[in-house]
Amino acid sequence: MTDFLNAIVALSNFVLIPGLAYGAQLALGALGVTLIYGILRFSNFAHGDTMAFGATMTILITWGFQAAGITAGPLPTALLALPFGILATIGLALLTDKTVYRFYRTQKAAPVIFVIVSMGVMFIMNGIVRFIIGPDEQRFSDGERFIVSARDFKEWSGLREGLAIKTTQGITVVVAVICVTALFYFLNKTRTGKSMRAYSDNEDLALLSGINPERVVMVTWIIVASLACIAGVLYGLDKSFKPFVYFQLLLPIFASAVVGGLGNPLGAIFGGFLIAYSEIFITYAWKKVLVYLMPEALEPSGLVQLLSTDYKFAVSFAILVVVLLFKPTGLFKGQSV
Amino acid sequence: MTRSLTNIALFAGVACLILLTGFTSSWNSALLIINMGLISAIMAIGVNLQWGFAGLFNIGIMGFVALGGLAAVLVSEPPTEGAWGAGGFQVIGALLLGFATVALTVFVRAKTSGRLQTIATLVILIGGFFLYRAVFDPAVEAIEAINPALQGNLGGLNLPIVLAWPVGGLLAAGAAWIIGKTALGLRSDYLAIATLGISEIVIAALKNEDWLARGVKNVIGLDRPLPNEIDLQQDPAFIEQAAGLGLDPVTASTLYVKLGYSLMFTAVLVLIFVAAQLALNSPWGRMVRAIRDNEVAARAMGKDVTARHLQIFILGSAICGVAGAMMVTLDGQLTPGTYQPLRFTFLIWVMVIVGGSGNNYGAVLGGFLIWFLWVQVEPYGAALMGFVTAPMPDAWWLKDHLIESVAYMRLFTMGLILLLMLRFFPRGLIPER
């Protein structure tokens, strides 16, 4: 019985809880990608770097707060800085839209042109982020490190395995839930949200019924920038902030959005968790869990790691390809242009 | 001015820029720009083939380039003593086993249906995977244990490295065939994401599979197709010739080797360029462009769109593979850690878009121009930043920060160039005719 409990605890500690946090981060990122796809109808390759920009801004403000002695007590100061980071990201997104994307929108350019344009934007944002904060790793989390620390848990339960819940993991999940609830309330209940969905479903009909497309696009960018900034900050808090990592996140984020069905917000969330858990399941060394479950004679000699962690891209990629081959519109019905 | 005159002027302009580098800094750096420019031009032709002529949106160029680099190691390195006996054949066996598993899955899926199909697929795939790992892991361990400080990999065939160029093309073509078979049916931006994923996986494999090419431990000191500079400097005949030209032996030897590479690369570029031009002006090329312009109409005329797309995807990727092998030859080393998508995928895209998608002359021009800018933006940016920050007080944090961050100007500049070109000259410097 204790063995079984130990196995459960080890599993939660190394797989379930980190997966929950990572999944929430991916879901927030994928929501941004999917909204852009639904409303503006292109895959935004600059999304990862938008996240990096949001995180950069938040980090700078966090440092300012820390220097001024303003903290959030047990919570990371970054949470206080987050609203300002979001404002900066919204400003950048709206500026980009006005100077870059609007031209192609009025031209009714092909989606693939938008994608190439977003590559240019990606380069510029990449440059800006590195210009501001440099290419190195930055730490900006403070406050309590753990909600439940492994040692406390061991003392409390008397088990050999400890269960640790990092504050950043808790915050990630809470913030993600708040964001998603607010987003769905907005999309389903408010007038602007409904007009966005209408625009996404059928552009011509939406225009016919007097919806102002520029306003829809503006609101979309505001929401996407906020989501990107939040996702970027949460990821940076939970792991650590490295500018190049955000570009690499693009692949799992796209995989999440596509697997769920591009243009479908619910699908993006589902996709985020599917990708996160698959990545962790396949790259986790299962020995730690299996030693408790298997009889001694059968105990595994190796790490029982299906793939080395560096192949996590391969996991999101494999899921992506399989879904695209068998269900090109994603698991939840998405759009396909 | 007529079109062709403008084109000549554009090429002359780029040539002047490079000559200027030669006069102002050094001929060595000018030749280095030319050599990498030649390689970039070849990559740009490959991408132009896919995007400009067939409308295929491939952003996995980095992967194909890296595969070409891998070929350079596999062809030219001497085989590691004892590695094949220790586990080389077992690794090959394991890979064949993995291949057999996939083949068996495909076969079983074709013969069964319904729930049985799902169960059979899962059983074969999971069972095959564990069997594969059981054979593969010990073999890899045995290989990597051999002299790990210097080798720890299988080594290669010990053939001249120039042979690696076509082999790199073949390797990239093989990968492109697999990707094309699965992903070419997808919409344009799905294909983009799929190729992006593949390229990341190729790099991950290069970094992790130490038995193949030493992973992040890098393979250095690769075989060279040209004599070594040090040997030339010892050679009395060479010193005499250099003195005849009024050069000291060190400069003369470096210039001689770089010039040699330039000639070899130019030969490859001309070969590929002529082949691409001939192919594209043939009925086949017209068909490919017709498919790009109107897929439905082309299909209605009985053209096999999927097969043409697959062909051109493989051809374009193979060209990138050749260029990748050439680049590793020039560098003399394979360093998987340096392959970054911004440099090896998106920069090539900037070259194609700026040069003019759909025109091979444009691709070559873009290759040289953008590579020149990529190299030179940093010193120019540093000079500019020095000018901007000159009135600032010394040791002020902003001044230090600005001067330090100059290196990232090039990313910003490339993005700006791409956006400005797309906005004002969407067809590029040398548009498609």
pLDDT of residue A6: 85
- Element holding B432 (H helix, E strand): none
Q: What is the CATH number of the domain that holds A175?
A: 1.10.3470
Give domain status of residue A337, yes or no.
no
A146-148 and A165-166: which strand pairing? antiparallel
pLDDT of residue B242: 85
pLDDT of residue A299: 66
Residues of B in contact with A250 (CB under 8 A): 196
Task: State the average pLDDT for chain A.
Answer: 89
Residues of B in contact with A132 (CB under 8 A): 405
Q: What digits encode the pLDDT tens for the residues A224-250? A: 999 999 999 999 998 889 888 898 899
| Mean pLDDT lowest among A57-66, A306-315, B249-258, B278-287 | A306-315
| Binary contact (B208, A250; C-beta < 8 A) | no
In DSSP terms, A241 is beta-bridged to: A138
pLDDT of residue B68: 95
Q: Among partner residues B137, B340, B412, which is closest to A131 by beta-carbon distance?
A: B412
Q: A111 is in which domain, residue-wise?
A: 2-326
pLDDT at A292 over 50: yes
Give domain status of residue A36, yes or no.
yes
Give domain status of residue A332, yes or no.
no
Give domain status of residue A179, yes or no.
yes
d(CA B173, CA B319) in angstroms, rounded, equals 9
Confidence of residue A337 (pLDDT cuts 50, 70, 90): very low
Q: What digits encode the pLDDT tens for the residues B386-400? A: 888 888 777 777 777
pLDDT of residue A175: 94
| Binary contact (B190, A324; C-beta < 8 A) | yes
Q: What digits encode the pLDDT tens for the residues B124-134? A: 988 888 888 88
- Please enumerate in sequence order all residues whose Cβ is within 8 A of that of B341, keeping only pairs 6 or more positions apart, or say none: A247, B59, B62, B196, B199, B200
Please indicate whether residue B26 or residue A61 has the higher confidence score (pLDDT): A61
Residue count (chain B): 433
| Regions of chain B where pLDDT drops below 70 | 1
pLDDT at A209 over 70: yes
d(CA B266, CA B152) in angstroms, rounded, equals 36
Closest CA to B302 of B315, B290, B314: B290
| Binary contact (B415, A328; C-beta < 8 A) | no
Give domain status of residue A333, yes or no.
no
- Please enumerate in sequence order all residues whose Cβ is within 8 A of that of A166, keeping only pairs 6 or more positions apart, or say none: A21, A145, A146, A147, A238
**Residue A294 distance to chain B (closest CA, Å):** 18
| Binary contact (B342, A126; C-beta < 8 A) | yes
pLDDT of residue A33: 94
pLDDT of residue B182: 82
**Residue B201 distance to chain A (closest CA, Å):** 6
| Binary contact (B201, A112; C-beta < 8 A) | no
| Binary contact (B193, A325; C-beta < 8 A) | no
Give domain status of residue A205, yes or no.
yes
Give domain status of residue A293, yes or no.
yes
pLDDT of residue A125: 94
pLDDT of residue B181: 87
Neighbouring CB atoms inside 10 A of A298's CB total 8
Q: What digits encode the pLDDT tens for the residues A81-131? A: 999 999 999 999 999 999 999 999 999 898 889 999 999 999 999 999 998
| Binary contact (B194, A117; C-beta < 8 A) | no
- The domain total for chain A is 1
Q: How many helices (H) and strands (E) does chain A have?
A: 15, 2
pLDDT of residue B1: 57
Residue of A95, A102, A311, A324 for testing the chain B interface, max B β-carbons within 10 Å: A324
Give domain status of residue A335, yes or no.
no
**Residue A322 distance to chain B (closest CA, Å):** 9
Six-digit token string for B86: 């220790």
